[in-house]
Amino acid sequence: MAGAGPGRSVDYALTLLRRLPRITLGNLKGNKEQKKKHNYSRGQDGGSDRGYPEQAKKGSQPPLGFAGGSNPYYTRHPVEWYYRGHELRRQYPPYSLFSLQRNIDMGIIDPAYPIDLVQLCNTKLYHIDPLQRHFGVNLTEEGMHMFKAKINLEVQWTTESVIAAVERNGGTITLAYFDPACLNAMHDTRSFFARGVPIPRRALPPENCLELYSNPKMRGYLADPAAVSLARVELAQKFGYNLPDVTKDPDYEMLIKRKDPRQCFYDLEPGWVVNLKDRTILKPADEVIRQYYRS
Amino acid sequence: MALSGLQILARSRPCRLRACPTIQLGHLRLQSSSSAAAAPQNGNIPDKEEESLPAAPSPSVTLVPTDPENAPDVYVTQQGEVYDQERLARDVSRMYPHHRAKMLHVGQMPQIMFEFQEGKDYKRKLYARYGRASGVNPGWMWPSREEIGRMTGMERDLGIPTLQESWDRVREKREAQEKANRLRYDRVEANMKKMEADIKAFRQRQRQAEEAVQAEKAKRQKVLEEAKDLLGFKVDPRDKRFQELLEAKEAAMKKEAKLAKKKEKEAKSLARLTSLENSGSTEASGPA
């Protein structure tokens, strides 16, 4: 056993070492971080002078914005036609069901509360700019097959498939319109409350989208609730899923929570002022003011 | 009072000073001297200030007595800035006092110094930022009755429709569109029914037109041939001789036609006469 002890392994290591290649000048390598030296070409065939610092100093480089080539910019790119009325159309920046599910899974969005534009913008992962005629969120179908959350959702634009994906899991969805003044308050609540002005009264939708926001098939917020429940059943039959009974859900109260057509924040009425410093809500006492915000 | 090394932190102010001579800083109510604020010369300080601040070498800094007897000394520059002993000793930020007060760690209310600070928006922001401690009446948060009247009047002038009005308009528009569509569909359907017959008639018309053209062409060719036979050479249709020939031929044809017409007329009258005769003979022969 003494022969198989540490003495033998030492011998083995030494013989191995003898056979291994030696470090010589021929097999030395530079550091990985070592910067490669740039050899400037010289003479008559010196190549391009663009990268040569001396030439840059002399100012022989092409002017800023020079594109090069014989095909000018305006012929290289396809024509972009004039889109009539584009500056007046309502824009709805997209947000996918995949992102929504991901933010719920990561705990960024709490599905125990109704989810609306305020919640989405408060994640700071979704932004709208009312000055760019953004009128809210367009919930897209991406990731609808893996959507599992049971939520009370309020969006501004969506498709039938998305509605089916949300309702299949026992959730509810509403399509609601907000005017720019309300969106200004909703997309950045902190800045809005820092201005110290009352919560605005939500305006009614314009005529060119009134039918959409009153359509029970699109779960419009102005639609008859009875028609909406009927449309829920119809959609379940169309897509072939079993519609869970919301009335028997333990979160029934949360799932059926809706805003008034004049309301832009849950639990806050138009005309109220929220003070973040004192953590108070100020309500107007004057009947004229109350009437103005109520009507 | 060691003020010999005092550095004047702010020499000039780009903004306009508030006209009010009193300046508020926290709980202290200070009386800034109007003579100091008005003095444009750096070297001349009135005797009154010299008494209260005997060691002040800086011409821009004057000491002003505060209201309470035992309140600490406070220095007011010509520009109206307020320095107390603590700030003189500690503050090296070189910030304007109204800017420094707004910093988070200072957390004081900014002094009311400028005209814009008396505006409604500023008061609202002040209340939003400092809450009840700002001392602003929360009534500033809401529009006044005049403003509400103006806003409702503007909404009335804009003619913002009610929901019911909007609904009616949308429905009318939709119904008009549907009606127009229906009319168009009906028209298309009716036309589709007679399409085959129409196509047949069209082809017939086309064929007739083509035939007419061909007949005209043949007729002209014939005339040309005749002219060639008469003149003995191939004649140009624009030629004078051909034109004369053509006129002569037309005249002959007219004559012929006239003659034929006359003949026909005669034949007609003859026929009538004979028929009358026949009828007369038959009538005469009838009773006979």
Give the model's confidence band at A51: pLDDT under 50 very low, under 70 low, under 90 confident, else very high. low
**Residue A173: what are its φ and ψ, rounded to 5°?**
-140, 145
Query: What are the DSSP calls for A97-147, one per residue?
Result: HHHHHHHHHTTSS-TTS-B-HHHHHHTTSS---GGGTB-S-EEE-TTGGG-
What is the predicted ipTM?
Answer: 0.71
Percent of chain B with pLDDT over 90: 41
Residue B22, pLDDT > 60, answer: no
Taking residue A152's Cβ as centre, other Cβ atoms within 10 Å add up to: 24
Selected for mutation to probe chain B from A273, A279, A287, A290 (highest B CB count within 10 Å) is: A273
H/E element, A17: helix A6-19
Selected for mutation to probe chain A from B102, B142, B156, B158 (highest A CB count within 10 Å) is: B142
Sequence ranges of the domains in chain A? 88-265
Give A-chain residues touching B169 at CB under 8 angstroms. Answer: 207
Q: Does A179 touch chain B (CB under 8 A)?
A: no
Residues B142 and B168 in one domain: no
Residues B175 and B104 in one domain: no
Q: What is the dihedral of CA B37, B41, B44, B48, to 10 degrees?
A: -10
In-domain check, residue B3: no
In-domain check, residue B37: no
| Structural domains counted in chain B | 3
Instruction: Tell me which fold the domain A88-265 belongs to.
Output: Ribosomal Protein L15; Chain: K; domain 2 (3.100.10)
What confidence tens digit (pLDDT) does each residue in A75-89 have?
Answer: 777 777 888 888 899
In-domain check, residue B12: no
The two structure tokens encoding residue B14: 């780009």
**Residue B29: what are its φ and ψ, rounded to 5°?**
-110, 120
In-domain check, residue B29: no
Give A-chain residues touching B147 at CB under 8 angstroms. Answer: none
B125 contacts A289? CB cut-off 8 A: no
Q: How far apart are CA B172 and CA B165, in angstroms?
A: 11
Q: What is the pTM of this model?
A: 0.62
Q: Which amino acid is at A169?
A: N
Q: How far apart are CA B270 and CA A61, in angstroms?
A: 112
Distance from CA of A274 to the nearest CA of B (A): 8
A284 contacts B142? CB cut-off 8 A: yes
A195 contacts B142? CB cut-off 8 A: no
What confidence tens digit (pLDDT) does each residue in B137-194 have?
Answer: 999 999 999 999 999 999 899 988 899 999 999 999 999 999 999 999 999 999 999 9
Q: Does B125 touch chain A (CB under 8 A)?
A: yes
Question: Nearest residue on chain A to B150, judged by CA atoms?
Answer: A292
Which residues span the domain enclosing B116?
A: 76-160
In-domain check, residue B45: no
Closest by CA to B108, choosing from B126, B85, B83, is B126
